[in-house]
Amino acid sequence: MAKDQLNVLKALDVAKTQWYHFTAIVIAGMGFFTDSYDLFCISLVTKLLGRIYFYEEGSNKPGSLPSNVAAAINGVALCGTLAGQLFFGWLGDKMGRKRVYGITLMLMVICSIASGLSFSKDPKAVVITLCFFRFWLGFGIGGDYPLSATIMSEYANKKTRGAFIAAVFAMQGFGILAGGMVAIIVSSVFSAYYPAPPFSVDPVLSTIPQADYVWRIILMFGALPALLTFYSRMKMPETARLR
C-alpha cells in the first residue's frame, strides 16, 4: 500500500497541467478571497458603527468608537484566526483535508451571517455579540487559510506548484478589493434612497436609522462566496497524501 501511494504521489508530481488543476485554483482561491474579505471588511464599517451607536446627544462631533472598542472589533477575528490555524491544522491531518475544509467553510458562513445579525440596538450588546461572532469567524478563517494553500500544493505538479500557490494567494488582494467595492455600492444605494442632511446642519438626522442596515449587509455578504463554492469543495476528492 505504501509503495502504491508513493507511485501516486510521483505521478502527481510529474503530471501534465490539466483542467482539474485550474478548478482547484478557483476553489482554493475563493477560500482566500472569502478569508480576506471577512477579515478586512470590518475596517470599512467601524466609523459607521461609531456614528450609529456612540453619538453623544448634544455633541458637536459625530460619534466614534472608543479606542478599546475599536481595537476589540478590529482585532478579535485575528485572535480567532491564530487559534483556528493551530486547531484546524492539527485536525486536518487527523480527519483529512476535505472534511475539515467543509467544516471551516460552514463555520465561516454561519458566523458571517450572525455578525450582521448582531443582537439589539444597545451599543454594549451589539459590540459584545459582534465580537463573539467575529472571533468564531476568525476561528473558521484560521482553518480555511492554511488548508486552501495545502490542498493546492498537494494537487499541483512539481513544475507549476509555485505558480499555482501564488495564484491562490493572489485572490487575497481581490477579496480586499471586493470589500471596498461592496461597501461603496451598498453605501451609494442607501445614500440615494435615504438621503440625509450633513452633520453640521442636523447632527441627529444626519445618521438615518437605515444606516444600521449598511454595515450588516456588508458583513453578511462575506457568506456569499463561501456558499457558492461549498458544493465544489465537497466534490473535490481527498488529496493523495491522506488517502
At 157, phi and psi to the nearest 5?
Answer: -85, 170
Tell me what the pLDDT averaged over the chain comes to.
84
Domains (range + CATH), the chain: 20-53+63-242 (1.20.1250.20)
Separation between Cα atoms, residue 214 and residue 135, nearest integer Å:
21
| pLDDT tens digit sequence for 43-67 | 999 999 998 998 887 777 888 899 9
Rounded mean pLDDT, 107-119: 91
| pLDDT tens digit sequence for 115-157 | 999 877 788 999 999 999 999 999 999 988 888 877 777 777 7
According to the model, what pLDDT value does residue 96 have?
A: 76
Cell of residue 142, nine digits = 484560521
| pLDDT tens digit sequence for 161-213 | 788 888 888 999 999 999 999 999 999 999 899 988 887 777 767 788 888 99
